[in-house]
Amino acid sequence: MMDAYTVLARCYDRLTADVGYETWADYVERHFRRQKQPVQSVVELGCGTGSLTRLLAQRGYAMTAVDLSPDMLAVADQKCEGLGVLFLCQDMSRLALLDRADAVIACLDSVNYVTRPAALRRTFQRVYRALTPGGLFLFDVKTPLALENAGGQTYLDEDDGLFCVWRGEYSPKRRVCSYGLDLFVREEDGRWSRGGEYHEEYAYTMDELDGLLREAGFRRVKQYGDKTMSPPRQGAERVFFAAGKEL
């Protein structure tokens, strides 16, 4: 298996230029403002190249950014230079912080990439311990419907010096959607280089996630539609969870 986010790290920002990170940051802050106590310190799990990390740091939050990929973190570190962000290269199921945080977030379906339920159980337990009393855990997931629909699909991304092909395959037995990526990048000398990666996302049901959160100790667990403050609609392909730790 090819190392995940090694080849992709250098191209990730070009491939996600249409994500709209400002909108994501606005939505995260809407949840922060709902908290009974001020949110000052934030941990972002699966921070990638740090686009959301940078925005939240610029808005005054003390950010700790966690990712398993050293290559992604190297890009994020450069992007967030001078903002006082602490970067940690960790598996989120082994999350270990120096201090507890007011909020932990995991955006852009980072939770789906934890493909073993036992590892996700440990992740939620670690997050619970990492939060201050009254703290917030906010994350989003692709629903099983979204991952099933991605099976058999081919996606293309390109610009003047980049061509990327994604191929999705869904396994109902494993409940996993796998993505094979081929990347073609034009180098400075004009030649094209080719690289590839392989990624997997697990199709957790909303009931399973709710149960794992409550098992970890969370009691105030709510579900929301895609960047809305309303419950998800039937057939939703992305759902947000907001789980609060008791005071």
Read off the pLDDT of residues 128-153 as tens digits, 9 standing for 90 and up.
999 999 999 999 999 999 999 999 99
The model's pTM: 0.94
Averaged pLDDT for residues 55-68: 98
Res 5 pLDDT > 80? no
Q: What does the block give as tokens for 20?
A: 């709209």
Lowest mean pLDDT among 53-57, 77-81, 185-189: 185-189
What stretches of 36-118 adopt beta strand conformation (E)?
41-45, 62-67, 86-89, 101-106
Residue 1: predicted pLDDT: 35
Q: What is the pLDDT of residue 17?
A: 83
pLDDT at 2: 41
Is the model's pLDDT at 41 over the cut of 90?
yes
DSSP one-letter code for 88: E
Encode pLDDT of 176-187 as tens digits.
999 998 989 888
> What is residue 6's predicted lDDT score, i.e. its pLDDT?
66
pLDDT band with cut points at 50, 70 and 90 for residue 15: confident
Report the C-alpha gap between 167 and 157 in whole angstroms.
Answer: 12
Res. 4 pLDDT band, cuts 50 70 90: low
Contacts of 223 (CB under 8 A, 6+ apart): 206, 210, 231, 232, 239, 240, 241
- pLDDT above 90 covers what percent of the chain? 80
The whole-number pLDDT of residue 155 equals 87
Q: What is the pLDDT of residue 13?
A: 83
What local confidence, expressed as pLDDT, does residue 228 receive? Answer: 98
Q: Is 173 a residue whose pLDDT tops 50?
A: yes
Q: Which CATH class is domain 146-202?
A: mainly beta
Ranges of beta strands (E only) in the chain are 41-45, 62-67, 86-89, 101-106, 131-142, 154-159, 162-171, 176-186, 192-202, 220-224, 238-244
Average pLDDT over residues 224-230: 98
Q: How is the chain split into domains, by residue range?
A: 8-142+204-244, 146-202
> Domain 8-142+204-244: what homologous superfamily?
Vaccinia Virus protein VP39 (3.40.50.150)
The pLDDT of residue 10:
82
Confidence at residue 199, expressed as pLDDT on a 0 to 100 scale: 93
- 54 vs 195: CA distance, rounded Å: 28
Mean pLDDT score, 185-206:
90
pLDDT recorded at residue 190: 84
How far apart are alpha carbons 185 and 158 in whole angstroms? 10
Mean pLDDT within 114-119: 98
Q: Is the pLDDT of residue 240 over 60?
A: yes
The pLDDT mean for the chain works out to 94
